[in-house]
Chains A and B, each alone.
Chain A
Amino acid sequence: MNTLATLLALTCLFLLGSSRLLVSIRMVAFQGFLLGILPFFVSGSDHVGVAAIILSLASIGLKGFLLPKLLTRALFESGARREIEPFIGFGASMLSGVALLAVSSYIVNRLETTAQIGSSITLIAGFFMVFSGLFLLITRRKALTQTLGFLVLENGVFATGLSLGSEFSVFVELGILLDVFVGIFLMGIMLFHIDREFDHIDADRFNELSDLAFDASEDEEVSE
């Protein structure tokens, strides 16, 4: 249980410091796998049932295998291999990661005084994943890494919900999973289009739509 949570936090730290996109995708896949088996280790027996097993298998299948495969394919199509010059360097990112981890445990410590929390280590990991996901979304240039950031964020929300012990019926959980899957799937498809249209997948170079620099798009064809 605690080992799993620690591993989850470590994958995030690794993601923050990694510049190789392929390795990052595999790390997120590993994270998806860990999350898939996490429910069986939280508070024991009442989680094990047919529904829980189906949910877990679906989660591992989608987050651990299918989505990473799609993203890997998008990566090879685009020819990009590395994240180049993030807004915050990799070393600094890792340091920020450690700071975020500290912040997460501080928040959880504060929360523990007001509420009964199932598993505080998992909750720390959950918060940390949410923070790392947001951090990746903000500081990285490649659209692909932003997609990964979003996936990490979603994983974090999932882990948070799990450790707070707030569970809904299996249909709601499956619905949430389906939404996340379709979302990442659409992002993956858009990665192909971005690559084809712009010859790069750097989201920070999206600057045709802005109120502050509108004149840049003078020669653009009318889109309707």
Chain B
Amino acid sequence: MTTAYALIILPIITGILSLFISSERLRRNLLLIVAFTHLFISIVLCKGGVGELNGVWIGLDHLGRLFLIITSLLFTGSAVYSMVYLDKHPHFDGPAIAGLRMPANSNAIYAACMQFFLAAMTLSILSMHFGLQWIGIEATTLASTPLIYYHRNRRSLEAAWKYMILCSVGIALALMGVFFLAMATSSHVQQFTSAGFALFSGYLKVEWLKVAFIFFLVGYGSKMGLAPMHTWLPDAHSEAPSPVSAMLSGALLNCAFLGILRIYQVCAAVPTAAAFANEILIVFGLLSLAISGIFILHQPDYKRMLAYSSVEHMGILALGVGIGGSAVAAALLHAVGHSLVKASLFLLSGNILAIYATKKVEDIKGLLRHSPLNGVLWLAGFLAITGTPPFTTFNSEFAILRVAVQSHNWTVAVLYLLFLLLVFIGMLTIFMHMTLGKKGEAEVDSASGESFWQLLTPVVFLSVALLLGLYLPEFMRDTINGAAMALGGKAL
């Protein structure tokens, strides 16, 4: 139990420390050490049996394990990438605001907020209590806003403001949901956790539960980037520094998704509420797919394209859970695949930005010639994100489709395929335009995007995504199946 608390408290302490460390080298090494320590402790915790950690406040069930490992892994990858990223960008010294003394420069704030961000995400994953989880998810917004504003220009300021306002309002609504959920309790419910509720599902007041679910979905859904509450997402993800974008897209969206899954777990135990929740999830999922498909077509900015692709994949997750059965397990597997692949793509987009110094698709040609390594990885990432075999994303997307067809959800299946096709076409034109073409059409600085640290994480993550597609290890299958069962689904 104490190790679980250490997982949350350690990054907070080191984060505060990094605000006061003046040596750039030391600060970065500290970030790396924290990342690997966090990953190590997470793995150790997840190796323990289920139920070892099962408190009123903090616990680690199958769902928690899955998301904890993804988050920790992604943070480590981003921290490794940050090593070189911070070198390439000028930082701002001195007090940021007249009158408010900031002890450190923007790189110190970056390192500190990254660690606070990690602590907040860990808290939101480990917390079993709905109130505590709310605190964690709101804290992720607070910790990540300064990260989005890292570049200190108008665009990043606008993105950070939108992010802050929209997500905070959304999360405030989720807090209403928490209060409504408290109304659904009966005297039997001792613990304000999903397991505590599910245990006495027969005594819950279904009407209040449904109201609570809607508020949770709208609230955490706006953080997760489900359409139509996604409007902040493309701005924030495209303006943030690439390692932060990778974290936002790969890890943070999952945490918000987990927030919805926790209440879904309660609904799943009550048949009428489950049917209601499934319907809404399917509608939001399809809507997200549709919106992202429309905006990816002819998207002029490749980081925004990646952001819309996140909206698409969040839609797939919601859809998978909504369809139910083994699609729930497939959706969870998809969350893993999406995180790995999208983080790689965002990091690669940082390399491309370093090489070409532009985010516009039309100005980028011949990536394969200018920087073969980045070009090949970028194409591999494209194949992975669009769900091409043998990547793991194919398996999960296909499994969701299979369940939709088997349960005779024809409308859903057809629309799902249609939107996936739309996204595929949109992304294909963009990726082809960027990678193909002759050399020498634009001024480039190939060397700045090809260092070891910049390529390490994408290579590792994409390889893992590929390997998971070919072979799903036993422990992972067990974790995913266990989580899916808790959500009322079937094993994969």
Complex Cα gap A153–B165 (Å): 12
Q: Is the CB of A223 within 8 A of B97?
A: no
Query: B160 an interface residue at 8 Å Cβ cutoff?
Result: yes
Q: Is the CB of A209 within 8 A of B155?
A: yes
Q: Is the CB of B142 within 8 A of A190?
A: no
Query: B154 an interface residue at 8 Å Cβ cutoff?
Result: yes
Q: Is the CB of A209 within 8 A of B183?
A: no
Complex Cα gap A81–B102 (Å): 28
Complex Cα gap A192–B96 (Å): 10
Q: Quick one: which of B346-401 are within 8 Å of A by CB?
A: 350, 353-354, 357-359
Query: A186 an interface residue at 8 Å Cβ cutoff?
Result: yes
Query: A161 an interface residue at 8 Å Cβ cutoff?
Result: yes
State whether A183 and B141 are in contact (beta carbons under 8 Å apart), knowing that A209-B158, A223-B155 are contacts in the complex.
yes
Complex Cα gap A25–B207 (Å): 38
Question: Contact partner of A220 among B97, B155, B354, CB < 8 A?
Answer: B155
Over the window 47-58 of chain B, the binary record of Cβ atoms lying under 8 Å from chain A Cβ atoms (1 yes, 0 no) is: 000000000000
Query: A197 an interface residue at 8 Å Cβ cutoff?
Result: yes
Residue on B nearest A147 in the bound complex, by CB:
B165
Q: Is the CB of A175 within 8 A of B135?
A: yes
Query: A85 an interface residue at 8 Å Cβ cutoff?
Result: no
Complex Cα gap A213–B179 (Å): 40
Residue on B nearest A127 in the bound complex, by CB:
B176
Count how many chain A residues have C-beta atoms less than 8 Å from C-beta atoms of the other chain.
47
Question: Contact partner of B176 among A73, A130, A220, CB < 8 A?
Answer: A130
Over the window 112-139 of chain A, the binary record of Cβ atoms lying under 8 Å from chain B Cβ atoms (1 yes, 0 no) is: 0011000000000000001000100100
Over the window 145-169 of chain A, the binary record of Cβ atoms lying under 8 Å from chain B Cβ atoms (1 yes, 0 no) is: 0100010011001001100101010
Q: Is the CB of A179 within 8 A of B139?
A: yes
Q: Quick one: which of B234-257 are within 8 Å of A by CB?
A: 234-235, 238-239, 241-242
Smallest CB separation, A144 vs chain B (Å): 12
Complex Cα gap A134–B89 (Å): 38
Query: A50 an interface residue at 8 Å Cβ cutoff?
Result: no
Over the window 196-207 of chain A, the binary record of Cβ atoms lying under 8 Å from chain B Cβ atoms (1 yes, 0 no) is: 011000010010
Q: Is the CB of B175 within 8 A of A221?
A: no
**B residues less than 8 Å from A194 (CB atoms):** 157, 161
Complex Cα gap A49–B162 (Å): 40
Q: Is the CB of B239 within 8 A of A223?
A: yes
Query: B134 an interface residue at 8 Å Cβ cutoff?
Result: yes
**B residues less than 8 Å from A221 (CB atoms):** 153
Q: Quick one: which of B79-101 are within 8 Å of A by CB?
A: 89, 96-100
Complex Cα gap A161–B155 (Å): 37
**B residues less than 8 Å from A153 (CB atoms):** 169, 172
Q: Is the CB of B139 within 8 A of A214?
A: no
**A residues less than 8 Å from B490 (CB atoms):** none
Q: Is the CB of A189 within 8 A of B97?
A: yes
Query: B482 an interface residue at 8 Å Cβ cutoff?
Result: no
Complex Cα gap A129–B294 (Å): 37
The binding surface of chain A is classed by DSSP as: helix
Q: Is the CB of A157 within 8 A of B357?
A: no
Q: Is the CB of A209 within 8 A of B239?
A: yes
**B residues less than 8 Å from A187 (CB atoms):** 164-165
**A residues less than 8 Å from B129 (CB atoms):** 168, 172
Residue on A nearest B184 in the bound complex, by CB:
A115
Query: B156 an interface residue at 8 Å Cβ cutoff?
Result: yes
Q: Is the CB of A183 within 8 A of B154?
A: no
Smallest CB separation, B150 vs chain A (Å): 9
Query: A182 an interface residue at 8 Å Cβ cutoff?
Result: yes
Query: A193 an interface residue at 8 Å Cβ cutoff?
Result: yes
State whether A157 and B179 are in contact (beta carbons under 8 Å apart), knowing that A172-B129, A222-B353 are contacts in the complex.
yes
Residue on A nearest B151 in the bound complex, by CB:
A223
Query: B433 an interface residue at 8 Å Cβ cutoff?
Result: no
Query: A176 an interface residue at 8 Å Cβ cutoff?
Result: yes
Q: Is the CB of B164 within 8 A of A186?
A: yes
Q: Is the CB of A172 within 8 A of B132?
A: yes
Complex Cα gap A203–B154 (Å): 12
Q: Is the CB of A214 within 8 A of B300?
A: yes
Query: B268 an interface residue at 8 Å Cβ cutoff?
Result: no
State whether A166 and B161 are in contact (beta carbons under 8 Å apart), knowing that A115-B208, A222-B358 are contacts in the complex.
no
Query: A143 an interface residue at 8 Å Cβ cutoff?
Result: yes
Residue on B nearest A212 in the bound complex, by CB:
B295
Q: Quick one: which of B145-202 are within 8 Å of A by CB?
A: 145-146, 149, 151-162, 164-165, 168-169, 172-173, 175-176, 178-180, 182-183, 192
Query: A224 an interface residue at 8 Å Cβ cutoff?
Result: yes
**Interface-central residue, A150, A161, A172, A189, by most chain B CB under 10 Å:** A172
Complex Cα gap A214–B235 (Å): 12
Question: Contact partner of A222 among B146, B176, B241, B357, CB < 8 A?
Answer: B357
Residue on A nearest B301 in the bound complex, by CB:
A214
Q: Is the CB of A164 within 8 A of B131?
A: no
State whether A179 and B138 are in contact (beta carbons under 8 Å apart), knowing that A172-B129, A172-B132, A224-B353 are contacts in the complex.
yes
Complex Cα gap A189–B145 (Å): 11
Question: Contact partner of B241 among A134, A197, A214, A224, CB < 8 A?
Answer: A224
Residue on A nearest B168 in the bound complex, by CB:
A183
Question: Contact partner of B135 among A164, A179, A192, CB < 8 A?
Answer: A179
**A residues less than 8 Å from B176 (CB atoms):** 130, 157, 160-161
Q: Is the CB of B161 within 8 A of A211?
A: no
**B residues less than 8 Å from A164 (CB atoms):** 179-180, 182-183
Query: B342 an interface residue at 8 Å Cβ cutoff?
Result: no
Query: B65 an interface residue at 8 Å Cβ cutoff?
Result: no
Complex Cα gap A155–B300 (Å): 41
State whether A172 and B208 are in contact (beta carbons under 8 Å apart), knowing that A179-B139, A183-B141, A198-B154 are contacts in the complex.
no
Q: Is the CB of A166 within 8 A of B158?
A: no
Known contacts A164-B179, A224-B89, then 15 further A-B pairs from the complex at CB < 8 Å, ordered by chain A residue:
A114-B207, A134-B169, A153-B172, A160-B179, A164-B180, A166-B182, A172-B131, A176-B175, A183-B164, A189-B100, A190-B160, A197-B153, A217-B155, A222-B353, A223-B151
Closest 7 CB pairs of A and B: A166-B182, A172-B131, A175-B135, A161-B179, A179-B138, A209-B235, A168-B131
18 contacting pairs across A/B (C-beta < 8 A): A114-B208, A150-B168, A157-B172, A157-B179, A160-B179, A161-B182, A164-B183, A172-B129, A182-B139, A183-B138, A187-B165, A190-B160, A197-B154, A209-B159, A211-B234, A217-B155, A220-B153, A224-B242
